[in-house]
Amino acid sequence: MTLTGPLPRHASLYEVHPGLDNPLLCRGRRGRPRSRGEKIGTPAQPAAAVPGQDATVMRYGKTARVTVREHRCLWPGACRSRPVRVITATEPGRPGLALVTTDPATPAEQIIARYASRRAIEAAFSDAKNHTGAGEARNRTPRAVERTVPFALFTQSIVITWYHLAGHHPSVVRGRRAQAPWYAAKASPAYPGMIIRLRRILIAAQYNPDVPRQPTPEEIRAIRLAWAEAAA
């Protein structure tokens, strides 16, 4: 298993001591072998010293041209004496991105794309906590705790699948733009919009009898109230 993530700007980096890769160099010397080389400093130091290479990367569904710099070093504060790779990606007019990975072989372009792919996973977890209800559980027994989050994620998958197959309509996005003009670039609905639409359809289905008839004022009022609560 390898780990990839953002590198803090204040992280202290060190060069890899030659004896770490070749223990024969430390034979015959008294005392404990050195576990790190010379101090590099913060991630800005190797990013400025290492020559950059232009590369094309895929991030967040878009292709970007970036300058990639890579340096093999140590990050004792987190990885002890395990060598890591520090990868920085910079674009004109944008702040650079510094990543650290324990993966020794994967190309830097794939490392950057791998890190960008975590956005969809984090968004799914956030929706499960804040909208599907996984973050509101108050369980006590071990089995209930183990079941709640998987059940919430399973329910969330059903909602998204239903919306993709039967719930989506172009008017949903147009209506959202009309309600919130600041979403001018919005091209697809978010998960909260999906679950709101499903709630409205389920509520309305409760007042649809087998024999068609005109709904009563009480039923119309109940449906409107339920829609308002679902949209709140």
How confident is the model at residue 155, as a pLDDT? 93
- How many residues can be counted in the chain? 232
- 8 A C-beta contact, residue 37 and residue 64: no
Tell me the three state secondary structure of residue 136: helix
> Which run of H or E residues covers position 177?
helix 170-179
pLDDT of residue 190: 84
- Residue that wins the pLDDT comparison between 103 and 221: 103
Question: Between these two residues, 159 and 170, which has the higher pLDDT value?
Answer: 159
Q: Residue 44: what pLDDT?
A: 85
Round to whole Å and give the CA distance between 63 and 66: 10
pLDDT at residue 21, rounded to an integer:
63
pLDDT range class, residue 231, cuts 50, 70, 90: low
Contact 73, 49 (CB under 8 A): no
pLDDT of residue 209: 54
Task: At 15, list the tokens.
Answer: 């060069």
DSSP per-residue codes, 7-61: PPTT--EEPPPHHHH-GGGGTT--SPPPS--SEEESTHHHHHHSPPEEEEEEETT
Higher-pLDDT residue of 190, 14: 14
For residue 22, pLDDT beyond 70: no
Q: What is the pLDDT of residues 34-54, one digit of tens each?
A: 778 888 888 888 777 788 899
Could you tell me the pLDDT band of residue 212, with boundaries at 50, 70 and 90?
low
Q: The dihedral of CA 192, 193, 197, 203: what is its sign?
A: positive
Domain assignments of the chain as residue spans, ordered by start: 4-116, 140-231
